[in-house]
Copies of this chain bind each other. A is one copy, B any other.
Amino acid sequence: MMGKRNPQLDADGKLVHLLTLEGLPAETIVSILDTAAPFASIGEREVKKVPLMRGKAVFNLFFESSTRTRTTFEIAAKRLSADVINLNIGASSTSKGESLLDTIDNLVAMNADMFVVRHGQSGAAHLIASHLQATGKPHVHVVNAGDGRHGHPTQGLLDLYTIRHYKRDFRALSVAIVGDVLHSRVARSLIHGLTTLGTPDVRVIGPKTLLPARVEGMGVSVHHDMREGIAGCDVVVMLRLQNERMKGALLPSSGEFFKHYGLTADKLARAKPDAIVMHPGPMNRGVEIDSPVADGERSVILPQVTFGIAVRMAVMSMIAGA
């Protein structure tokens, strides 16, 4: 989708959009994680708000519905004191025949400061960012909240934040990513982030039908046997089995999937004793993860959610120049 220039950075290398973790420099990623750290404790204060984006208008443009992701962005923006306007575009102007870019032009004319975009098509957020560039609106910013199978960079960043929080140094880690990698923009974003930060050992584990062709090209090793794949790793990232995305018969059954790739205490015993367990949510308990593991002491699934708000506050305040 992108040309050679990195459309996320301005001429001085400052972050102006967050579109993808692919090609984002390590120092930018580290800077986001560092900025997020003080926000991670803001939620525990009596007054959870900071005035960094007071009077700024943030538009949540969700062409695919996702209450969960929209909510995290809405909370993050409100904690930054921004005004948030939620647009469920599916039911709106596009049904009246207006194009995506006409909608964007109109919202820019309403003095939008930032778009948080979820779209079923890969590259939608890039397209909007390029259009803003082409129409001379460099002061309007875009955050990709998930585009097709392509990427979900704030999810990738919160995963990185979580791993750094518990494991400190990426350069000594083994990370296993398990399940439906093929349909997962979460996995794609995380793999780009991990390799950029120098993680020496990233593994993807799943049946052939749920791994992308040539996934090794992303700098990961491939395993079809889960017990073998998670042996000795520091971090186990379970992916949601995207039932709603799968077309046709990629899988025999969810029971069969659980038997081979569901994370149980028994399989987890093969990882390091202090390995952490992650999941982007929402979980299918008993499909990709067993409830005792999901709720167990090595699970950091709920801290991921907390860190997710902090990371989104960091991204939004940084690109808004606050």
Contacts and interface: CB of A to CB of B under 8 A. Distances in A.
By size class, the interface of chain A is: 35 or more
22 contacts: A43-B110, A44-B111, A46-B55, A48-B55, A48-B56, A48-B111, A49-B83, A57-B78, A65-B91, A67-B92, A68-B106, A75-B83, A78-B83, A78-B85, A93-B282, A96-B244, A97-B282, A98-B282, A102-B285, A109-B306, A110-B306, A110-B308
Contacts of A78: 57, 83, 85
Given A99-B285, A102-B283, 13 more contacts: A47-B55, A48-B55, A65-B91, A67-B89, A68-B106, A75-B83, A75-B110, A79-B83, A96-B282, A97-B282, A98-B281, A106-B282, A110-B306
Interface string A92-126: 11001111001101111111000000000000000
B55 A111 contact: no
A303 interface: yes
B283 A98 contact: yes
Interface in A272-310: 281-285, 302-306, 308-309
A263 B270 CA distance: 70
A72 interface: yes
A74 interface: yes
A93 B110 contact: no
A92 B43 CA distance: 24
A49 to B, nearest CB: 5
A128 B108 CA distance: 33
Contact of A68 (B67, B72, B93, B302): B93
A110 B56 contact: no
Contact of A110 (B72, B89, B243): B72
Contacts of A107: 71
